[in-house]
Structure 1
Amino acid sequence: MRTIQVVNVRWFNATAWYGAFLSRLLREAGHETLFIGLDGTQSFVRAQEWGLEPVALDLNTASPLRLAALWGRMRALVRDFRPDVVNCHRGEAFVLWGMLRKAGGRFKLVRTRGDQRLPRNNIPNRWLHCHAADAVVATNSVMARHFRDVLQVPEQKIHTIYGGVDTAVFSYDESGRQRVRAGYGYGAGDFVLGLLGRFDRVKGQKELIFAVADLYHRRGLRHVRLMLAGFETATSRAEVEAWIDEAGVRDITVITGKREDVAACISAMDAGVVASLWSETIARAALEIMACGRPLVSTGVGVMPDLLPHEALCAEGDVTALADLLEKAVRDEPWRHWLQAACVQRMKTLRERDFLDTTLAMYEQA
């Protein structure tokens, strides 16, 4: 199968990762795949690093002259590459691909929506999703229901496809666990709670820090330790460290910064935490934690209710509810083992092969 993956995302966020990882899986499986992105952006550079040979198009332009040139380049690409499928992972150029499809393009048009924002119920969106697109992919059930119930997309066009995990990279690593724990001074009796994610208000680092402080200072769990496996982006490290000091957990908290051995750091955790306040429509970090065999608790945002049992979820932004959930994970060993088994079982349908096979089946059906 010949596909064009349109990934006009500036940052290498979960949406960009979803499109790039799918492109890599398709190419590795022998499907000719053209990755289109924005020249010089994080996602474009990562595609180059992955050997995807990305093609640069000015897909986010609003200039009439540039739009005319873009339209010509899109038509030429379709003519020369002859794709069976064009898969748009962002909305900025989706209307142009929709127009090209309706102007006689001999390809199936797929719109994958991994964005946290629900599309507005207006005439352009209804035309694009109901008529221009041959299939619409949601990365979580909330988005799928919105397409069906609000935009009135025909149910047979809607597909919910979760992102897969590269299990060659993300799996439990016992030797890595011991090395990382020794490096951070963790003892055999220490219980490490870990959050994997960039420093950004959306990720809920502040709420987790104060929830762990509650466990340590007021609930008697003096063996709890906190690992923040991330680095500054929208939120600075200094701001995160100020929260740590305010909560009085400096001595039990580690900030890893950027590391290459992410799977080893995850393996060093005794339980993973997603404390996000919103978003998590793809939840790449959650999938990686689960792939490493760690029990995971989370707020109930985005795709998380699709991934975890209800008992492992709490309300977003509620520090006390998060602390209650963490306390259960720390104190209740049988429950923790049950949750770990549930995460392992869930991952049996979320591997990279499942991601690829489900996507290919959707392409064939579209």
Structure 2
Amino acid sequence: MSHETKTLPVSGPVIAHLLSNRWNSAITEYAVHAARALTMAGFPQVFVALKGSAGARRAAAAGLEVAEVDRFSLMQLPEVSKVIASGRLKAIFVYGGPETFLAKWLKGSSRGIKVIRFRGDDRDATRKPDGLFQQLSQSHIDLFLAPSRFIVERLDGRAHQVELGIDGTRIHRVEAADPGPGSRRDCVILGRLDPVKGHERFFRIFAQMLAAHGLDSYRLHVVGEPANLSLVHLENGAREAGLTPGKDVIFTTGRIDDISSLLSSACAGIVCSSGSEIICRVAQEFLVCGTPVAVSGVGSLAEIPAGGDGIVYGGLRSPDVEEKLRVFLEGSRTETREQRASRAARSFLRFSLETMSRNLLEVLSGVGITAP
């Protein structure tokens, strides 16, 4: 184990986060932002993550105390216990991997510690929530945190919804990037190139909409790094759907430094995933930039657009889906700057780190943990 040495404040209840997820995933984002939100509320934090993982890097960059482990197993129990040991340790947050089992032993070694388990991965959306084995393996959990009502409703009375908080210093509306009413053209799909992201099905919907109405005022802009799909594969998929790469659809696979300007400039944000989407970070980010969204509705996506913030097109068939998309895009293209600024402000109030902090405080108060 390596441990970045920082001195915790001398007072206040300490909260530990144990994260076995290695990747720069939505779960990692939720874990780091939960720790940041609780730091804003005044809680000292200890973040324990896999050595060299995205979680370790991001938590350290956020100024959190970070300890790195080779793996989460009973062999590491003494070392993890030593890192997070404190007479002031009040809660352990776990995020669905082997750390959940480890937390049971850590809780048993010290009275009064609460275990809060995040529930928001793909398995939570599909597997039976009340199996006997699952009940026994979760008996030490005091609270469940879920990013959506969809997941909360699948769990028992310990479950509470706390949506992911967006960092407003990184994601925010850029007024100058918005082409303005009548000039918005690009419909942006942001995310890795992966079959689960649903690009090719949306290519067909978009191509049929353009063909049915003779439109040339819209263009798809696909932004993301190749993961389980290559750029060549998606370009061929676009052609097969009836789109012309470079004209009806463009691709950006390189790094984009100014994400806020990209999202603020879009006519609409498209989240066309065919699976996953329990934590709907990209849809939230579009809205925080003032841009309305068209979402497929899988996972928790249908909960993201409030009134006037977008559409859910999943479940519709041709020609209804193309017509719904066309009407939505026409409205998005002609929105005033004031309408977009209002959406950005309203969405920031809903999705900010400050709001996540308040919501976490309210949940923790239910198990007797209050802010310092």
TM bucket, shorter chain: 0.7 to 0.9
> What does residue 63 of structure 1 align with?
none
1:143 equivalent among 148, 151, 155: 151
Equivalent residues of 1:229, 1:256 under 8 A apart: yes
1:249 to 214, 222, 244: 244
CA separation of 1:82 and 1:319: change in aligned 2, threshold 3 A = farther
- The alpha-carbon deviation at position 278 of structure 1 amounts to 1.4
Shift of 1:117: 1.3
Residues 277 and 316, structure 1, Cα contact 8 Å, conserved in 2: no
Question: Which position in structure 1 is the counterpart of 2:351?
Answer: 350
Given that 2:198 and 2:272 are in contact with CA atoms closer than 8 Å, whether structure 1 keeps it comes out as yes
CA shift in 2, pair 1:343/1:291, >3 Å: closer
Q: How many residue pairs end up in the alignment?
A: 345
Partners of 1:268 and 1:333 in 2: CA distance: 12
- Matched with 1:213 is 207
Answer yes or no: is 1:73 the counterpart of 2:79.
yes
**Matched residue, 2:159:** 158
1:307 Cα deviation from its structure 2 partner: 1.8
CA deviations 1:34-72 (Å, max 9, x no partner) are 111111123323333333342112444xxxxxx342122
Relative to the length of structure 1, the TM-score reads 0.84
RMSD over aligned Cα atoms: 2.9
How far did 1:141 drift? 1.5
How many angstroms apart in 1 are the aligned matches of 2:40 and 2:344? 27
**CA shift digits 1:182-202 (9 cap, x unpaired):** xxxxx9645221112111111
CA contact (8 A) 1:4 1:85 kept: yes
Q: Which has the higher contact order (CA 8 A, sep 6+)?
A: 2
Identity over aligned pairs, percent: 21
Structure 1: gaps spanning 5 or more residues: 61-66, 149-154, 182-186
- 2:8 aligned partner: none
Q: Which residue of 2 aligns with 1:231?
A: 225
Q: Is the 8 A contact 2:45 2:65 kept in 1?
A: no
User: Residue 240 of structure 1: CA displacement?
Assistant: 1.6
CA distance in 2, matches of 1:12, 1:39: 13
Contact in 2 for aligned 1:3/1:86 (Cα 8 Å): yes
Structure 1 residues 317 and 83 mapped into 2: Cα distance closer, same or farther (>3 Å)? farther
> Any residues of structure 2 matched to 1:28-177 within 5 Å, and which?
28-60=40-72, 67-80=73-86, 82-118=88-124, 120=128, 121-129=130-138, 131-148=139-156, 155=157, 157-177=158-178
1:315 alignment counterpart: 314
CA drift of 1:256 comes to: 2.5
Q: Deviations over 1:226-285 (max 9, x none)?
A: 111222122222222222232323112222332010010001101111111111111110
Is 2:188 aligned against 1:194?
A: yes
More moved, 260-269 vs 326-335: 326-335
C-alpha separation between the residues in 2 aligned to 1:227 and 1:294?
14
State the Cα distance separating 1:158 from its structure 2 match.
Answer: 1.6
- C-alpha separation between the residues in 1 aligned to 2:306 and 2:74? 50
Query: What are the ranges of 5 or more consecutive residues in structure 2 without an aligned counterpart?
Result: 1-12, 368-372
Aligned counterparts of 2:213 and 2:112: Cα–Cα separation in 1: 63
Aligned partner of 1:325 in structure 2 is 324
CA distance in 2, matches of 1:265, 1:334: 15
The one-letter amino acid paired with 1:283 is: C
State the SS of the aligned residue for 1:240.
helix
When residues 347 and 303 of structure 1 are mapped into structure 2, their CA distance, relative to the original with a 3 A threshold, is: farther
- Counterpart among 276, 293, 300 of residue 303 in structure 1: 300
